[in-house]
Amino acid sequence: MLTLPTTFTVSLSKVMKELSLSVLYMPEDPEKIMINSTDVNRPGLELNRFYDYYDTSRILIFGNAETAFLNSLSTQDRRQVLDELFSKHPPAAIIARSLQPTPEMLAAVTEHRVPLLSTADTTSSLVAALVAFMNVELAPRITRHGVLVEVYGEGILLVGDSGVGKSETAIELIKRGHRLIADDAVEIRRVSAKSLVGQAPENIRHFIELRGIGIINARRIFGMASVKLTEKIDIVINLEIWDNQKVYDRMGLENEYTEILGIKVPVLTIPVKPGRNLAVIIEVAAMNNRQKKMGYNAATELLASLGMDIDTLQEEDKTLKLDL
């Protein structure tokens, strides 16, 4: 099992490229400046020299309010406040609305070697975009064996033993107009308390291994419309060889889940045997999952029309332990 670090970093150059930030002062190569906090700081209390809960790992954001407060100070007070603030060595500072930095700010960042950047965006837009980007880049993550595809807008993670037919099923789904995100290795990130996003490691992106054929590039064979860089994970489908001794769910009343990075994800177990068109079954599973999220369940409607008590037949949610 692959063990990954519990904390991650992102380079300042990647942040600058994502948010289209311009440079006012850069003490060194931004590729070497690493950021490890998803939060940002608008230094209101800090400009009043209150540092009890100040986190030096956060990027500083200066907007209209902060700039107006600094301009209200005398030159000497402004110099002292900014010198004390940047002496804490935050990873970077960004000025919103293309506001001009004061000479005292330029002097302070130069003395303490703190990158100073600028953007034309409003402060609220800058904070929202920066936090959203950092939440993805610094999200907890794991890499697991499987295939991730998008079917009718649903992110489906196919898992199962090696050789059960995951890649072959993905090829059939691509031929039917759906999209591939990752084959063999899926990097899963927890981007929020309820959301998981999967993608392929960059060095194997768009490649699929097919036994008997070898490695193919799905993007080059099927076109750009057949692939996607990232996708949320809505459902896990466990493919397993048909077991005649096992009783499979035939009603859809049992709700099975698996936990990935602490988030419960619905699981379907689909038995594999000759004659079963897995691609069509997965398409139906995707549409059925969308219906359930919208509040409709065909099984409960059928039982209600037959006059049966649904509560007595419906079982409690089960947690299924998969090799993820």
Active site residue 121: no
3-state secondary structure of 259: strand
Considering the candidates 42, 79, 145, 292, report the single residue annotated as catalytic: 145
Considering the candidates 42, 161, 184, 232, report the single residue annotated as catalytic: 184
Radius of gyration of the chain (CA): 26
- Residue 187 falls in which region: left (phi positive, over 0), alpha (psi -120 to 50) or beta: beta
Active site residue 206: no
Cα 239 from chain centroid (whole Å): 25
Considering the candidates 52, 250, 311, 321, report the single residue annotated as catalytic: 250
Active site residue 264: no
Active site residue 219: no
CA angle, residues 218, 232, 141, in degrees to nearest 5: 95
Amino acid identity, position 230: T
Considering the candidates 166, 179, 190, 206, report the single residue annotated as catalytic: 166
Distances (CA, A) of 304 to 27, 28, 128: 70, 68, 46
In terms of C-beta density within 10 A (0-12 exposed, 13-18 middle, 19 or more buried), how is residue 316 classed? exposed
Catalytic residues: 145, 166, 184, 250
